[in-house]
Amino acid sequence: MKTSRRLSISGIPMSRIPADNRPGISPADIADHNSRTTLGLLRRFGPLTRQELAKHLGLTEPAITGITQRLADAGFVMGRKRITSTRYTAAEFALCPDAAFSLGLRLGADGCEIIMLDLACSIVRQEHVTRLDMIADAVADMISNARVTASLVGCGIALSPETVSARSAIEAAIGRPLGPLFFLEDSEAAINAERMLGIGDVEGGLVTILIDDTVRAGLFIGGRPFHGMHGQAGQIGEMRSGIDGASLNEMATLPSLQRHLARATSANGWLEIAARHLHEAVLAISGFIAPGAILIGGSLPDDILASVISRMAREREEKIRDLVIAPWIPAVQPATHPKDGVALGAALRPFTETLFPA
């Protein structure tokens, strides 16, 4: 099996790459872009013929032949005959799933979720550990059992606000080289998962809200993650709203639900308050950035998450407190992968840094 590598040259002879440092797009840049885009198309749509790839890329079929040949030589794609109902056949190209693998770690207050993806972005292995000192053994077993050491492109590590200060400890806990390490916020990782394995790139951008020990949002605006000038955009947990003036972190988190259930027989009271506060936060966000979709995930139990979203929809329909909702503000919906989205998005980061379009 060939070792996965960054497609920075993509088979172009070094003599064709400009030797100076003049600005502009080099042949290597163009080849890299075309190779990445081709891999991305095959991941998204499945096997495609030269003609179909040419249509997507706006290139000639001979140019597509060169791209697919380079990718085949690198072990990333394979050619085969497309089976049709007619007597005509065409060559199609598909990803080789075992040509490259990636790891994703979600660090949270409840421990670490570990996911391994293949090149087709299918989950190969998944495990949850409760302590940092268990990560190294879990990762080593995962790599050994899947036999992917030579084709591991890297490891994405998604950090929550509670674990971001433990970055050095996390690097030490991993314990062995995994290729490049890519650190990112868990809210941004959730967006990665939605864009590549969920609803895709929607017009207007995405907002993902994560609910666990705190409430925070990931913002994807204008084709890129938005963190704000001071890196605090999306930290909505301290937003205060409602008649009680309480914050989201006080009223709409997993710990607040657990406190409520410790003294009540049902979650109804918590659901009513949490939905109202979350709804007002969503309206505040939407009023400024007008996203195309707003999704919620995190650590809430599935039935509780569904009930929160249902009650937020009811608030919208009933126009609580005479609040008229602008028609362009989208209704909130559950994340495609409410529980695993962060770890999936972390595992996708090494692929977008090395093989797929960002």
> 306-356 pLDDT, tens per residue?
999 999 888 777 655 555 566 778 889 999 999 999 999 999 999 999 999
Q: What's the rounded Cα separation, in Å, for the pair 310 and 202?
A: 22
Which tokens sit at 83?
Answer: 């089976």
Give the count of alpha carbons within 13 A of 172, CB side only. 5
Extract the tokens encoding 237. 């947990």
- Residue pair 354/151 in contact by the 8 Å Cβ criterion: no
Q: Which residues contact 13 (CB under 8 A, 6 or more apart)?
A: none
Token pair of 49 as six digits: 């013929």
Question: Do β-strands 123-129 and 101-108 pair in parallel, antiparallel, or remain unpaired?
Answer: unpaired
Query: Of 60-74, 80-94, 131-145, 240-254, which has the strongest mean pLDDT?
Result: 60-74
Q: Note whether 294 and 312 are within 8 A (CB).
A: no
Decide if 176 contacts 136 (C-beta within 8 A). yes
Q: 176: which 2 tokens?
A: 């062995």
Q: How far is CA 256 from CA 205, 263, 282, in A?
A: 30, 11, 19
Q: Residue 54 has what pLDDT?
A: 95
Residue 15 above 60 pLDDT? no
Q: Which H/E stretch holds residue 159?
A: strand 152-159
Pick the CATH number of 27-95 from 1.10.10.10, 3.50.50.60, 1.10.238.10, 1.20.1420.30: 1.10.10.10
Highest mean pLDDT: which range of 32-46, 157-171, 241-255: 32-46
Neighbouring residues of 21: CB distance < 8 A, sequence distance ≥ 6: none
Q: Which pTM does this prediction carry?
A: 0.87
Closest CA to 330 of 309, 301, 302: 309
Q: Which two tokens stand for residue 290?
A: 């007008």
Burial 159-198 (b: 16+ CB within 10 A, else e): bbbebeeeeeebeebbeeebbebbbbbbbbbbbbbbbbbb
CATH of domain 200-334: 3.30.420.40
Largest CA distance in the chain: 74
Residue 9 has pLDDT above 80, yes or no: no
| Backbone torsions φ then ψ of 214, nearest 5 degrees | -135, 175
Residue spans of the domains in the chain: they are: 27-95, 100-192+341-354, 200-334
Query: What's the chain's length in residues?
Result: 358
Query: Does 3 score more than 50 pLDDT?
Result: no
Establish whether domains 27-95 and 100-192+341-354 are of one fold: no
Q: Which option is the CATH number for 100-192+341-354: 3.40.50.1370, 2.30.29.30, 3.30.420.40, 3.30.230.10? A: 3.30.420.40
